[in-house]
Amino acid sequence: MKRAAFLCDSLDNVERVYGQGRAEAVAGIVELYPQIITSENFAKHAAVLPELDAVFSTWGMPLLAAEQLAQMAELKAVFYAAGSVKGFAAPLLQHGLVLCSGWGANAVPVAEFTLAQVLLSCKGYFRNTRDCNVPETRRDNQVFRGPGVFGEVVGLVGLGMVGRAVAELLRAFELQVLAYDPYADKDTATALGVELVELSELFARSLVVSNHLPNIPATEGLLDGALFGTMRPDATFINTGRGAQVVERELINILRRRPDMTALLDVTLPEPPEPESAFYALPNVQLSSHIAGSMNDELVRMADHMIEECARWQRGEALRYQVTEAMLQTMA
């Protein structure tokens, strides 16, 4: 049995993510060191560090220095029960370690959140509820109603882990699904049942546009006013990606001119918006506090994925959530 330890600077996150029996499940598949190793107490565990084959972590995984990795002479794998690994991955991969991330598990609640918003947007729910808050409009039955779900067009910006998960969920509905992703090939799109198009066409054709781009320099400011201005009457823009991908001042200008449009923003830049941001005042903007990703009861799913991945690693089986150096270039 492999020897492993928790390595994380946030004891609270370890308790939350590996709670509900998940820490015990880890101990069932490895010989688990009984203490959590952190940046502060790293030196105190010098005796066990050279014996560790693997570490488990989550949000709060430290960026290990070369001398720290040198002390962990037997370390072969890191299992990270959270999403992005950008902050600490490079030295691990350069050291030849296997790195697995729980991003697949984190994509599940984002996709579920997006699905709910897409379906409600097709029904016109968000604009309808705005109208229903005006007594005269509601009582005169002048409220807005959307076209409905059947046969409508939904555009997914990005076909990474989250975008693919959304596409899979949308297959259950009779929708036309468009997608833009410069890294996706036609075979991937065909398997997902989506039509690959250019970004301008996606915005012009879709009743609902949902952003799932990775947060990398190449995507910063990609979604601008020129695109938002071409959106269909009564269209909805959903953002569960990152605020940096949107030129927000241009989106605000469009939303001021287009009260028929709706923006559902789970992320902004900065986050939360500054107090003077027009996002708070515009009636056709609905803000949420970055809740699309894993939270509360959903957190342990990420641990489950990493426990299963560790078991596969020990059996010598193919890994499902391994991160490579090449992947870092396009990952969030």
DSSP string of 39-85?
TTTGGGGTTTGGG-SEEEE-TT-----HHHHHH-TT--EEEE-SS--
- Answer yes or no: are the C-beta atoms of 64 and 88 closer than 8 Å: yes
Pick the closest to residue 184 from 176, 174, 169, 195 (CA basis).
195
Domain 3-105+296-328 in CATH 3.40.50.720? The answer is yes
- Answer yes or no: are the C-beta atoms of 127 and 237 closer than 8 Å: no
> What's the CATH code, domain 107-287?
3.40.50.720
pLDDT value, residue 39: 97
pLDDT value, residue 332: 64
Q: Order of strands, edge to edge, in the sheet holding 3-6?
A: 31-32, 3-6, 54-57, 77-80, 98-101, 322-323
Single pTM value for the model: 0.93
Name the residue ranges covered by the structural domains of the chain.
3-105+296-328, 107-287
What digits encode the pLDDT tens for the residues 142-167? 999 999 999 999 999 999 999 999 99
Measured distance CA(182)–CA(7) in Å, rounded: 36
Q: Is 132 helix (H, G, I), strand (E, B) or coil?
A: helix
Pick the closest to residue 78 from 53, 49, 107, 113 (CA basis).
53
- Answer yes or no: are the C-beta atoms of 11 and 57 closer than 8 Å: no
- Answer yes or no: are the C-beta atoms of 248 and 268 closer than 8 Å: yes
Tell me whether strands 98-101 and 322-323 are parallel, antiparallel or unpaired.
Answer: antiparallel
pLDDT value, residue 329: 73
What residue ranges of the chain have pLDDT lower than 50? Answer: none
Same fold, 3-105+296-328 and 107-287: yes
Residue 155's H or E segment, with its range, is strand 153-157
The secondary structure of the chain in percent helix, strand, coil, rounded to multiples of 5, reads: 40, 15, 45
